[in-house]
Structure 1
Amino acid sequence: MQWTASDDYGVTSQQVLLSTDGGLSFPTLLADGIQGGARSFSWPIPPDLVQQSLRIRVIARSISGSPGFGDSNNDFATAALSPVITSVEPNVVGARPAPLMVTIHGRNFYQGAIGLIGAQRLSTKLISDTQLEATLPSELVSSPGTITIAVENPDSQRSQPTNLIVLDAGGAAGPVITGASISGKKLLVNGIGFGDGAKILLDGEVQKKTVNDEQNPTSVLIGNKAGKFIAPRQTVVLVVRNSDGSLSNAFNFTRPQ
């Protein structure tokens, strides 16, 4: 936000206040003690502030302490953003008979946000607008498989899904995908147990230009030109097939915007 302020004897300090009722009152102090020469202020809008009738007031004080103020001319509004998951920790675990707590990292997590597996609501604790803790019941992690986790805010906006891999308690018997990303036209698939000559399957289609990464051949596969087949925000299913025919878990990957 920007403003102008002047006084014959100089402006010594300034305040910025917020109204949520169209300027009828300004109960919220956003900043105090702003230097007299400042004419702008950056306010990080809280992610859970969703209002239609917001206004700003700037109060400037002269050297004598006399105040003058100005309000924004029109209302402005803030809108809720969709939650976004960037990672889940841990994202690969062994099968177990007990519940599992995971930490979900991302952004735009509001008060009341919950972790979801399908339609099942998880016991969830909000740590911050970028972190949640969710507990998966024992029946979901007692056998090998891929669990798809999402976050839903109270306004019903839902994040893209991300995967948690549950391995057999004895360890992985074949390839396992733990993550994926796009770099230019390349699709990068991360995991464990990738054999020499392993191939990426994208929605069931073999990516013939798949190669093992030179530095990390058993944990990174590169699908040359496969990235161009995935549009922003599109979700695809990835599978890795080793040369012996063993298949990985099915991994849901959503390309970021």
Structure 2
Amino acid sequence: ISSPITIVIDVDFGPRRFGSPYPAGVIGSTSGQDLSGGDGFYEDFRQSLLQSAGSSEETALYNALPSGTVPTNIGPARDVEVSSPILRALGLIDPIADPTREMTNFGPPPAIGFNSAIPFDFTPDNGIDRNTFDFDSTVVHEVAHALGFTSNAGFRDLVPSFPAFPTVWDLYRFSDSITSQTFSTSQRILTAGTNQSELQVFFANGGSKVLLSTGGPAASRGDRNQSSHWRIKELTPNNTKIGVMDPVGRPGDRDVITQADIDALNVFGYQVGAAQANVTVKVTSPNGSENIGAGGSLPIAWTVNSTNAVSTQSIDLSTDGGASFPIPVALGIAGTARSFNFNVPSSLLTNNARIRVTARDANGTAGDDSSDADFIIATPRADFSLAVTPNSQTVGVGTSTSFNVNVQGLNNFSQQVTLSATTSPQSSDVTTSFSNASVSPGTPSTLTVTTSSTTQAGTINLTITGRSGDITRTVAATVSVVSSPTFMFNVTPATQSVLAGSSGVFSASLQALAGFNQPATLTATSDQSKISNITFSQSTITPGQNSNITIATPVDSPAVTANITITATSGQIVRTATVKLEVLA
């Protein structure tokens, strides 16, 4: 606020508020100095707003306010309740409060009490510790009430004789159906909500509708929060805090003034500068319940919303549930990063781990957030992995094929693993067997899948399971069963490296399926024009025969990797295999 005013506020920090006990759970409270001028004062106030307008947009807004009488849902109003700082900003009373005459002229000045029984964090620059409340934000919130964040919505519900008497903020309080076209004539809402879902909004004849609390002065109706606040963040569509005038203080939260707060202060009649820089961080992972193995990797993820570009970020670790964050995880993280993998030391063990991410812009403005709940870093459990190669095979009716199954121990696992396999769809004419059904880590086993003469052509899905104690791991593979004669085509090795001017030699072979016994013709192509001298020891082979494929390279060949596609064709059956030849210049 840049309006040249001076206000006086009585402040009491202690276990009692100016001698009276605090209600349970109250962090702080404010008594405003709210004044009015009687019948017809509303129009005088509106004219003062017009005279103070600092832009064409403000002039248009104040011209759009109702002239003379304010329509409300409990009757017309010709008076308005105005916080004394607003009157000072508009020049309607002395802009500089005189403490010696304040009581005589306008009654008690604004008074704020802060409950010393509440655990406050007085140094927000390094983040707000868990289980403490941000004192800086609490002060801003309570002072903002004194500056005009007040509402008479709901007083009629408690006192039936209470008149239609809006505050300045109430001049912009509407039902959710308000539009710019109806701004001047729509009723201002001066009742509390009837239920939690009923919406009331702050609307300044343009821009967004901002949700308001609807509980009335006693927070006993509507959404159960006092009407002199924004709607509580848990009841907003995106669970997002609207501004510093959220009705609830939360331990560990750092609250700052937002654009919504500034927009309201601006239409109250203050001269308001640009919004302060704001950096908002949200840790999305880990957020509690995770069990991380010491010595392993912990993926950390977060989001950042910032007025200015973020220049640097850091991550810290707590082992006491967020009471402190003494362990630096990473410093100097790029401002654009939104994830980080932390290699957890094997000696770091705790049941109360939390991560805190801090982001800063170039001016040093910082925001931070920590995990919502504790996660565990524990000694990693001995475990094993299960793998199968290849993951698919083709077999003819009445024949068999095999897979290699491997068990790899993790974290010093050394127990026996029992292997089993199931097929889907289940069929009594398809059998499975292991060369070794109980293996220790590192010992291979061969799974043989056998079909009978009555097995139907199609795909068999295999589920291979390894069990050891209460640990179970599974992998999947498939077997394609063919009934018509066909073949599989293999070329080995998959990759070779040769010097320029030398040749690489590969071997091609056919495997018959379902009684296939015909010859296949071999051809080859290269994706490198200089690596195109390809010859076959046999250009036609039958099942059981091999053909050596020689690929010659020129002496002046550059260093290059050629992809060679070998094709075997027999009638309508075409099979291909691709190998790589790396030429070293």
Q: TM-score scaled to structure 1, two decimals?
A: 0.38
Q: Which has the higher helix share?
A: 2
Q: Which has the higher strand share?
A: 1
Q: TM-score scaled to structure 2, two decimals?
A: 0.18
